[in-house]
């Protein structure tokens, strides 16, 4: 299980309700095609937190590449003004990201709560997806 944070290029504030909904739907489609399971997705205006689970044969680099490339392509396709007006025709995500492993029995609940509550007082953070019936791979 991994906690992944992906900032938008130039820290642009692109996550409106419509873009968040698009992101959630894209992630649900990724689940169908790859063995990557989204347990939590939380968005602030300029970055996204993912709590994800996958199988050991996929490296974290491969998982991140899949998520960032597919979400960027589909968000640009669905919301073309983001690419044109906000990101000047460039990339959606920054090159960097934060990732950390999460232990099933020690940190999972803590990370779920963190992603749900991250920045609530200071920012307009909103949980956009939670799957309580997600099968566990452990």
Tell me the β-bridge partners of 99.
4
Q: How far apart are CA 3 and CA 128, in angstroms?
A: 16
Walk me through the domains of the chain, giving residue ranges and CATH numbers. 2-130 (3.30.70.1290)
pLDDT digits (tens, 9 = 90+) for 39-85: 999 998 999 999 999 999 999 999 999 999 999 999 999 999 999 88
Give 22-43 pLDDT, tens digit per residue: 999 999 999 999 999 999 999 9
> What is the three-class DSSP state of 26?
helix
Q: What is the model's pTM?
A: 0.79
- For the chain, give the percent of residues with pLDDT over 90: 63
Query: Using CA atoms, how far apart are residues 7 and 89, in angstroms rounded to an integer?
Result: 17
């Amino acid at each position: 299980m991994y906690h992944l944070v992906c900032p938008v290029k130039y820290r642009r504030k692109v996550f409106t309700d419509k873009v968040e909904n698009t992101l959630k739907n894209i992630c649900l489609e990724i689940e169908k095609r790859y063995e990557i399971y989204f347990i939590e997705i939380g968005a602030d205006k300029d970055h996204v937190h993912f709590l994800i689970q996958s199988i050991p044969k996929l490296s974290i680099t491969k998982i991140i590449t899949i998520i960032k490339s597919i979400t960027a392509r589909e968000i640009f396709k669905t919301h073309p003004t983001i690419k044109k007006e906000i990101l000047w025709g460039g990339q959606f995500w920054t090159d960097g990201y934060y990732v950390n492993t999460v232990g099933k029995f020690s940190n999972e609940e803590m990370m779920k709560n963190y992603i749900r509550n991250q920045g609530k007082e200071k920012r307009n953070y909103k949980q956009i997806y939670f799957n309580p019936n997600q099968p566990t791979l452990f």
